């Protein structure tokens, strides 16, 4: 138990961790439950991971909640997911705010029910001055869509092609002003990036635990951080041997 409470064995903590919360449906199926029960269980797990992230000293936590491709799922499942998001805001916002969490949304709010858009905007406004941990919710988000959106806005702003570089493109991303992820975790054992932070994750370390998202607890997060702390990040270069 002492190991869980100590950070001494972690050589370095990633500043920004991003998570593809995968496996909710399979978690439910293995228990003879409807898929939506898995999504609700996964949503209830958010509280655990947000608190654990703050405890470990992670400054930014990005959660892939709903992709632009998820609109192709059955209508009943989409409606259920939207209701779950609204419930989470209603039930968790006050406590998250009191604990110093800042909520940020990336993606498109357009397409969501008007009342839900208002709830998300209220959550962002309420928590904008908090700084203990930054929670970035990727909802109605897709990496390619984000890049296309950035290109359109660069063209719209009549930017000289000679002025286009990585810094400028980054400034047009939904994540403008936020650090790129150091560690990306995809639960459930699937080895795909699924259109997540396509631009931002080029030099991130990736970690693929086999555990489904509803069972990805504080100890599983610690394992990911331990694995990360043993890696040597090169960002495309080489480290000289002493």
Q: What is the 3-state secondary structure (H, E, C) of 114-174?
A: HHHHHHHHHHHHHHCCCCCEEEEEEEEECHHHHHHHHHHHHHHCCCCHHHCCHHHHHHCCC
Q: Residue 39: its pLDDT value, please?
A: 95
DSSP 133: E
Sequence ranges of the domains in the chain: 13-143+181-229
What is the full per-residue pLDDT of the chain (242 aa) written as tens digits?
334 445 666 789 999 999 999 999 999 999 999 999 999 999 999 999 999 999 999 999 999 999 999 999 999 999 999 999 999 999 999 999 999 999 999 999 988 999 999 999 999 999 999 999 999 999 999 999 999 999 999 999 999 999 999 999 999 999 999 999 999 999 999 999 999 999 999 999 999 999 999 999 999 999 999 999 999 877 666 555 54
Active site (catalytic) residues:
22, 70
Q: Residue 233: its pLDDT value, please?
A: 75
Q: Residue 111: its pLDDT value, please?
A: 83
The matching CATH number, chosen from 3.40.50.360, 3.90.1150.10, 3.40.1180.10, 2.60.40.420, for 13-143+181-229 is: 3.40.1180.10
Q: How far is CA 83 from CA 40, 43, 71, 78, 88, in A?
A: 10, 11, 14, 9, 9
Residue with tokens 């259109």: 195
Question: In angstroms, rounded to a whole number, what is the distance separating the alpha carbons of residues 183 and 204?
Answer: 5
Helical spans, DSSP H, in 57-142:
75-98, 114-127
In angstroms, the first-to-last Cα distance of the chain is 37
Q: Which pTM was predicted?
A: 0.91
């Amino acid at each position: 138990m002492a190991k869980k409470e100590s950070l001494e064995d972690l050589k370095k903590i990633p500043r920004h961790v991003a998570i593809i919360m995968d496996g909710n449906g399979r978690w439910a199926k293995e228990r003879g439950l409807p898929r939506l029960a898995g999504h609700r269980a996964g949503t209830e797990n958010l509280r655990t991971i947000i608190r654990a992230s703050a405890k470990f000293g992670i400054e930014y936590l990005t959660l892939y909640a709903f992709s632009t491709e998820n609109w192709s799922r059955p209508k009943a499942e989409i409606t259920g997911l939207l209701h779950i998001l609204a419930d989470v805001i209603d039930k968790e916002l006050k406590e998250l705010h009191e604990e110093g969490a800042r909520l940020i949304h990336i993606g498109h709010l357009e397409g969501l029910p008007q009342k839900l858009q208002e709830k998300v905007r209220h959550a962002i406004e309420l928590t904008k001055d908090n700084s203990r941990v930054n929670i970035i919710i990727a909802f109605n988000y897709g990496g390619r869509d984000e890049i296309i959106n950035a290109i359109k806005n660069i063209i719209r702003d009549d930017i000289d092609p000679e002025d286009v570089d990585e810094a400028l493109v980054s400034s047009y991303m939904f994540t403008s002003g936020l650090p790129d992820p150091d560690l990306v975790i995809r639960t459930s054992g699937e080895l795909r990036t699924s259109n997540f932070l396509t631009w931002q994750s080029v030099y991130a370390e990736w970690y693929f635990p086999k555990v489904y998202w509803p069972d990805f607890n504080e100890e599983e997060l610690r394992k990911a951080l331990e694995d990360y702390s043993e890696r040597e990040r090169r960002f495309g270069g080489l480290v000289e041997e002493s």
